[in-house]
Chains A and B, each alone.
Chain A
């Protein structure tokens, strides 16, 4: 059983107009076996949270903490975080020219496990995982993400999720840009990884569509860098019907949060 704990996280980025605060105090605790959905309108800071957990250099943590089983994640380098068991399925996976998928997958697996995978079982595992995600076998010979379609890139992210077996998977808008068939295939992959029982999942999404295939126990609504509402799966259903309109930005959002808090008390 592992715990990923985010406490009062404040994150800013440097822009040409100066420093801009994006996350304004986010707290969240995820345990092994749980699936949390983070939902919110564009620009609410969902992806910033994902990238910050992974350690993207663009984001500066100004205060707050992220810990994995009590270990300070913020003190770790990007690769140390991945080796500690955090996996970010990226919204826009980058193309790495000249590095073949085979080479990349094996190098990453070796780094994460601390030893090279046994060649025969590894090749078999990769083939089987690719087949389940309906990725053509010849992708292993191609360069990482090079020339892949949007849907293919997302499937390859989930392929890595299944092969690397992280403690926590952060899926950054993995559903965006997928057609229904691809969405099903990708969701099945996440569910398979989850079903092994050793992973917690943080699912970041703009739409409720993917929640038909991946069932979260917890739903958090992000607006303007803060969690404005939290609840169970029923909250997602409500969002599907009503959209994000009822969360006015700025002061309005705070009012709703306060009202909801008062109602709950």
Chain B
């Protein structure tokens, strides 16, 4: 791998050294004036120095300050200049950001054990809005336009054998809105698979509630047809000691943009966010995640891995991790790795880490985008393995680290086969 940047901060151990001027053990000393304006240390004067333009009404440069609203009208029309849209080719959104989303939404077929409750509900259901608030215009557009939602509930203390499978099949290219709610009640344990297939132009909101002590894995598979456009906001809210594992796999579709966010509401919770993407010529696969450490003693671990091949294959990964002042004892690490297999492909990778308290267990972020490591290739070839086979072995190995996390054998096999198909598609 080349162009490696790694930063790892281990802060919090008592130090004999005097603190840097203007800093205390807990971080930057803020003037009372700034503190009064916002509880975020990056607001106030500091933000004006760092923001692009500055002045009243300019959004906070901290991730915490991003606008969130259920109302579409609160979000300005997109120009492509916005921080969170700057990598997305808006023309290829096919109206998800401009049209009324009244096309037929992908059909939803849920299969799973009887112990799991599956309901179809209207907009007025109390559980709508229990975990998410739209954070961008496309998500808000879906929120304003969906007509019915699917709610999947894993009752308290139920351990589900096997997985709950949600098959979402696209109904064509009319821009549509989708809404799903997944509730893992207290001390339950379950795996939910969202399986996106077919052709669709859809903005989707997935709300996920993981109550106290519950363990939930959500696997979101995007194996769309080549012409599909999919924006998916998947927001999770975690209770005390809850554990959540999220695996995003994007292989198909013309443009896929998945924006997971995880919010801790009580201490002791843990999230693992994994992702795998494989972009072919012309595909745009984007993932932007947000982990909001708003309370103490929670853990997060993020690893996304991507492969790219062919002209104008484009992947985007933006990882925002925010450790708020209250989130003492946080332990977090995020990493993104990209393997560029051919010329003409582009991988953007932006790890962002905001730390508002020094009293944490650990915080780190890393990103590496590279071509094949020639030394790996030499080693394998020096054992008689032809170059083509060696390259596939390395890519397979590279992506396998994520596939291994799925732990649902049927899906692991299916994705392994899908990766093989991707590798066979062009001559690597």
What is A's interface to B at a CB cutoff of 8 Å?
A: 54-57, 77-79, 81-83, 88, 90, 93-94, 96-100, 103-104, 107-108, 111-112, 143-144, 160, 164
Chain A residue at smallest Cβ distance from B1:
A97
CB neighbours of A112 from chain B (8 A): 383-384
| In contact, A57 and B378 (Cβ under 8 angstroms) | yes
| In contact, A104 and B401 (Cβ under 8 angstroms) | no
Chain A residue at smallest Cβ distance from B398:
A98
- Stretch from B213-221, B249-257, B388-396 contacting the other chain: B388-396
| In contact, A82 and B376 (Cβ under 8 angstroms) | no
The 8 A CB mask of B380-412 against A (1 = contact, 0 = none) is 111111110110011011111100000000000
Chain A residue at smallest Cβ distance from B388:
A79
- In angstroms, Cα B380 to Cα A99, docked, is 10
| In contact, B382 and A54 (Cβ under 8 angstroms) | yes
| In contact, A79 and B387 (Cβ under 8 angstroms) | yes
Interface bin, chain B = 20 to 34
CB neighbours of A81 from chain B (8 A): 382
| In contact, B387 and A77 (Cβ under 8 angstroms) | yes
Known interface pairs A56-B378, A57-B378, A107-B389. Does A97 touch B397 (Cβ–Cβ under 8 Å)?
A: yes
Q: Answer yes or no: B374 CB below 8 A from chain A CBs.
A: yes
* Residue in B375, B376, B383, B399 whose beta carbon sits within 8 Å of that of A111 in the complex: B383
- In angstroms, Cα B389 to Cα A98, docked, is 15
Chain B residue at smallest Cβ distance from A92:
B375
CB neighbours of B394 from chain A (8 A): 96, 98-99
Q: Answer yes or no: B379 CB below 8 A from chain A CBs.
A: yes
| In contact, A77 and B385 (Cβ under 8 angstroms) | no
| In contact, B401 and A82 (Cβ under 8 angstroms) | no
| In contact, A90 and B385 (Cβ under 8 angstroms) | no
| In contact, A94 and B376 (Cβ under 8 angstroms) | yes
CB neighbours of A79 from chain B (8 A): 381-382, 384-387, 390
CB neighbours of B376 from chain A (8 A): 94, 96
- B interface secondary structure, majority: helix
* Residue in B382, B385, B398 whose beta carbon sits within 8 Å of that of A107 in the complex: B385
Cross-chain pairs A/B with CB under 8 angstroms, 25 sampled: A55-B382, A77-B381, A78-B378, A78-B381, A78-B382, A79-B381, A79-B387, A82-B382, A82-B383, A82-B384, A82-B385, A94-B376, A94-B378, A96-B379, A98-B394, A98-B397, A98-B399, A98-B401, A99-B380, A99-B394, A103-B393, A111-B385, A111-B386, A111-B389, A143-B397
Most buried by B among A112, A143, A144: A144
Most buried by B among A57, A81, A104, A112: A104
CB neighbours of A103 from chain B (8 A): 393
Known interface pairs A97-B401, A99-B397, A111-B389. Does A82 touch B381 (Cβ–Cβ under 8 Å)?
A: yes
CB neighbours of A93 from chain B (8 A): 379
| New contact pairs (18) apart from A82-B381, A164-B383, CB-CB < 8 Å | A57-B378, A78-B381, A79-B382, A79-B384, A79-B386, A82-B384, A94-B379, A96-B394, A97-B401, A98-B394, A98-B396, A99-B393, A99-B394, A100-B397, A103-B393, A104-B393, A111-B385, A112-B384
CB neighbours of A143 from chain B (8 A): 397
- In angstroms, Cα B397 to Cα A94, docked, is 15
- In angstroms, Cα B383 to Cα A103, docked, is 13
The 8 A CB mask of B206-218 against A (1 = contact, 0 = none) is 0000000000000
Chain A residue at smallest Cβ distance from B374:
A57
| In contact, B384 and A88 (Cβ under 8 angstroms) | no
| In contact, A96 and B382 (Cβ under 8 angstroms) | no
Within B343-402, the residues touching A (CB, 8 Å) are: 373-376, 378-387, 389-390, 393-394, 396-401
Most buried by A among B373, B382, B387: B382
How close is B374's CB to chain A, nearest CB, in angstroms?
A: 7
| In contact, B401 and A111 (Cβ under 8 angstroms) | no
Chain B residue at smallest Cβ distance from A98:
B397
CB neighbours of A78 from chain B (8 A): 378, 381-382
How close is A113's CB to chain B, nearest CB, in angstroms?
A: 9
- In angstroms, Cα B385 to Cα A144, docked, is 14
CB neighbours of B398 from chain A (8 A): 97-98
CB neighbours of A56 from chain B (8 A): 378
* Residue in A97, A98, A99, A111 whose beta carbon sits within 8 Å of that of B384 in the complex: A111
How close is A212's CB to chain B, nearest CB, in angstroms?
A: 28
CB neighbours of A96 from chain B (8 A): 376, 379-380, 393-394, 397
CB neighbours of A144 from chain B (8 A): 379
- In angstroms, Cα B380 to Cα A244, docked, is 35
Cβ-closest 8 pairs across A and B = A98-B397, A82-B384, A108-B383, A78-B381, A99-B397, A111-B384, A112-B384, A79-B381
| In contact, B400 and A90 (Cβ under 8 angstroms) | no
- In angstroms, Cα B379 to Cα A88, docked, is 10
CB neighbours of A111 from chain B (8 A): 383-386, 389
| In contact, B380 and A88 (Cβ under 8 angstroms) | no
How close is A103's CB to chain B, nearest CB, in angstroms?
A: 7
Chain B residue at smallest Cβ distance from A56:
B378
CB neighbours of A160 from chain B (8 A): 383
How close is A162's CB to chain B, nearest CB, in angstroms?
A: 13
